Structure 1
Amino acid sequence: MNARAPGRPRILSRERIVTIARRIADDEGLDALTVRRVAQRLGTGQASLYRHIEDRDELLRLLAEDVAVHLPAPKEQLDAHERVVGQWLDAYDYLSHHRWAARIIAEGEHVADSASTFAESALDALRALAGDAGEPRADLARVYRVLWHLLLGHVLNVHPVGHAHSEDADPRSAAESEGTDTAPAPHPGEASTPRDDLAWALPRVLDGMLGTA
């Protein structure tokens, strides 16, 4: 019989450790994430965790892999332009709920092999958008890197110093564009959100780099 007896601790596994580590990072921030803190949340000793992970560094690497697995793929039912913009906005939505994940990516100390899935899907979407322009793969890789910088800037720098919204600025100006790839215009008196700004910037950056305007 495999049923767990009432009150008996659940069997530890890497998957369970990563789940708790993700919750701690979400609730308390990345700096609060330690092997000891994970052990406390699991109701066990640190020695038990060390049977599954070596140290905090490995814990962060496992979290980086977890992030990479959950990065979104483009939605195939959209046209080429909407597919690229939509994928990066979906990535913003995911990372904005797990800001520690954006920090792991930005610091670049923990490279996740699973990130190649997102990279390849994003490059394929960019290749389809470039179309007849025939951008070399090296140039598309540069576009991909630029989009990452743009995304991480909007996720991490939500309150940029010296960039407060001006009371005199017209909030509608950030959304004046044709098509459906831009952010909807805020109501008068409403400041645009970082996501609005990213939605406004993405098609302009893409059109400028790929000549798709």
Structure 2
Amino acid sequence: MVTPGGARPKLSRELIVTKARAIADASGLDALTLRELAHALGTGQASLYRHIADRRELLGLLVDDVALEFPTADPGLAPRERLLKVWLDLHAFLSAHEWVAKVIAEGEYISRNAAPFAQRQLDSLTGAGLGTEDAMRAYRTLYNLLLGFLLNKHPMGHHLEAVPPSTEDEEFRWAVSRFLDCLLPGEPPQGQ
């Protein structure tokens, strides 16, 4: 990676994470090796070790980086609509970064940057009338539903003629909407 003047930009953790994310987005997580990353940065693999300990640390940094971009929804929306919007937006965001769901699902990396997202969801759920324990269970259910949709590419049942074809986005919208309908029965859906 060389700038127009011919000089390489100074290697930094931020630059390493940015390039690693670009590789993972373009080619998948399996393509993200430290050797490939060093090559893409125009440096030697040993130079990376001045900024990161290993691939494990790099993946943790990538999860932290992505979590900063988790969506927020308009607090002026009714709780059910706010929840629906943010989970649909998160599904769209993570669909654009396919490797993230796998890393999250493996459970090895806990991002401190994801905590504000989780807290906003818990606040929305308690604001909709759920108790703290039910809000936590609902949050975990929504998160597992999201990961299930992102990770499961098996077309089970889609070959049936009686089932009209739909996109993954439509299927996810349907699932989250129905879950919220059951969870928040006192709040009628708007525009559904």
Shift of 1:154: 1.2
Output one character per residue of 1:152-207: Cα deviation in whole Å (capped at 9) or x when no partner: 111121x32422242233x3xxxxxxxxxxxxxxxxxxx21111011111121123
Structure having the higher Rg: 1
Shift of 1:210: 3.8
**Structure 2 length as normaliser, TM-score?**
0.90
Amino acid at match of 1:141: M
Matched, 1:139 2:134: yes
- Which residue in 1 is equivalent to 2:144? 149
Structure 1: how far apart are the matches of 2:181 and 2:51? 47
Q: Percent identical across equivalent pairs?
A: 48
Structure 2: how far apart are the matches of 1:145 and 1:137? 12
Q: Check whether the contact 1:154–1:195 (CA below 8 A) recurs between aligned residues.
A: no
> Runs of 5+ in structure 2 lacking a partner?
none
> Runs of 5+ in structure 1 lacking a partner?
172-190
User: What secondary structure, in the 3-state scheme, does the structure 2 residue paired with 1:81 have?
Assistant: helix
Give the structure, 1 or 2, with the largest relative contact order (CA under 8 Å, sep 6 or more).
2
Structure 1: how far apart are the matches of 2:149 and 2:13? 32
Structure 2: how far apart are the matches of 1:116 and 1:96? 20
Q: Which runs of 4+ in 1 moved over 4 A?
A: none
Cα 1:163–1:5, aligned 2, differ >3 Å: closer, same or farther? closer
- Which residue in 1 is equivalent to 2:98? 99
Mapping of residues 163-174 of structure 1, within 5 Å = 163-169=157-163, 171=164
- Which residue in 2 is equivalent to 1:208? 182
Q: Check whether the contact 1:64–1:110 (CA below 8 A) recurs between aligned residues.
A: yes
RMSD: 1.6
Cα 1:128–1:91, aligned 2, differ >3 Å: closer, same or farther? same
Mapping of residues 172-191 of structure 1, within 5 Å = 191=165
Q: Check whether the contact 2:83–2:124 (CA below 8 A) recurs between aligned residues.
A: yes
Mapping of residues 121-140 of structure 1, within 5 Å = 121-130=120-129, 135-140=130-135
- Which residue in 2 is equivalent to 1:162? 156
Cα 1:82–1:5, aligned 2, differ >3 Å: closer, same or farther? closer
**Structure 1 length as normaliser, TM-score?**
0.82
- Which residue in 2 is equivalent to 1:65? 64
